[in-house]
Amino acid sequence: MGESGEEWPRHRHCELQVTEPFDNVERPTEMNPQHSDDDSTSADRAWTNMNELANKLRRVTRHGVGIAATGLFHLTAVSLVTVATLLPFLGDGRLELFVQFMANPQFAHSAAPSIGLHILVAAVLWAIAYGGWHQVRRHRSPRRTFKATAGTAIVETLIVFPIILLLILGMAQLAINTTAGVLSHLAAYQSARAVWVWNPEIGRSATVDQDYVEEMARIQGAAVMTPVAFSYGTDGSSSEEFKNMRGALVGSQLDVTSASGSFGRQTADDLSSLGHSAYGDLDINFFEALDRTDFPTRSALKFSGAYLTTDVEIIFHTGDSGYTEIGARMTYDHFQAMPLVRGIFADQAAQGEADRPGYYAEYTREYTLIEQPTPHHSHP
């Protein structure tokens, strides 16, 4: 201390060194109005962001619920259209058979494409009805202006799609009918040749008569028409000659090197019985018309169908050379299997022996050969 009792500057300087750092410390928030305003702005901004996020979530939720409700509405409508278009073709017996059919997983899997096609057609019908209703409503509304270009792509697609579908089915059926017409000429020749071979045996064999000759000619003609015939089974009411031929056809398709004729015949009988119960009176759809079964089953059922829709008559007449000619007049009723276009190619009729109402195109062909000379009784 100095003489006057004051502290030395050194002590004062030391005190300043201690107190100077505290003088630079920022005051508390309540003492700093600028800092309080910044915090309030940050809180308001955070609250605004939270409100915007909540509004976005509400809009997304509302939009999702709207989409789900619209989808459920259209799904329900398509289901109703599917059922409505199916009911006219299903009686009590067919509905029960359909339920039993779908209860089997194997059959249900095979029927999935047909069901899918039916649902697709129902969806197209509903789209046409719904789109047309909206267009009419928009056109009549005084508050909206009707734009001719709005929805033109989907409308044009809906208009053209049925036409394209008819063209595809029509070309498929026309191709099958053309093939049937070509094969019918060969079938008539094979039937005439069978008559030419077996007719001289009438009266010389106890088992050969005119009915037997016609049966053999019918079998030969049916064998030629098998590729284009529709699958159908028989329940064992056919002749033994027919069963033998069917067994030979099925046996040639079996992947068994040591299969005998009896094994092929038994397999054919089993497959034909299955075909009779499965395809007896059902309406034919597009996938059944394509016949996606395996070759042994297809051989048995198609040959049965060709046999039941083929009729043969023995004919005689004198040819240009003066010789007597013998042959066959073969009539084959070709079943129109493609849906939607059946009535274009044939008239509806009930095929008698096949017991299957439907549309049939009739093919009648004749072929004759010079009759064999009668063999000498003593030296045949």
Query: How many whole angstroms separate alpha carbon 188 and alpha carbon 330?
Result: 6
Query: How many whole angstroms separate alpha carbon 302 and alpha carbon 288?
Result: 12
Query: How many whole angstroms separate alpha carbon 208 and alpha carbon 6?
Result: 159
Helix, strand, coil shares of the chain, percent, nearest 5, are 65, 10, 25
pLDDT in tens, 75-86: 888 888 887 776
- Evaluate if residue 177 carries a pLDDT over 50: yes
- Evaluate if residue 23 carries a pLDDT over 50: no
The share of the chain scoring above pLDDT 90, in percent, equals: 18
In this predicted structure, what is the pLDDT of residue 212? 93
Q: Which residues contact 266 (CB under 8 A, 6 or more apart)?
A: 247
pLDDT mean across residues, the chain: 75
SS3 state of residue 330: strand
Query: How many whole angstroms separate alpha carbon 334 and alpha carbon 327?
Result: 22
Query: How many whole angstroms separate alpha carbon 43 and alpha carbon 20?
Result: 35
Domain residue extents for the chain = 74-150, 163-370
Q: Distance of alpha carbon 81 from its chain centroid, rounded?
A: 18
Q: DSSP for 252-312?
A: TTSS-TT--HHHHHHHHHHHHHHHHHHSSSPPP-HHHHH--S-HHHHHHHHHHHHHHTEEE
pLDDT in tens, 337-378: 888 888 888 877 766 555 677 889 999 999 999 988 876 566
User: In Å, how far are 51, 238, 314 from 202, measured between CA atoms?
Assistant: 103, 22, 13
pLDDT in tens, 128-167: 888 877 777 776 655 555 455 556 777 777 788 888 888 8
- Evaluate if residue 224 carries a pLDDT over 90: yes
In this predicted structure, what is the pLDDT of residue 323? 84
- Evaluate if residue 237 carries a pLDDT over 80: no
φ, ψ of residue 319 to 5 degrees: the values are: -85, 180
Query: What H or E segment, with its residue span, contains residue 26?
Result: none
In this predicted structure, what is the pLDDT of residue 48? 81
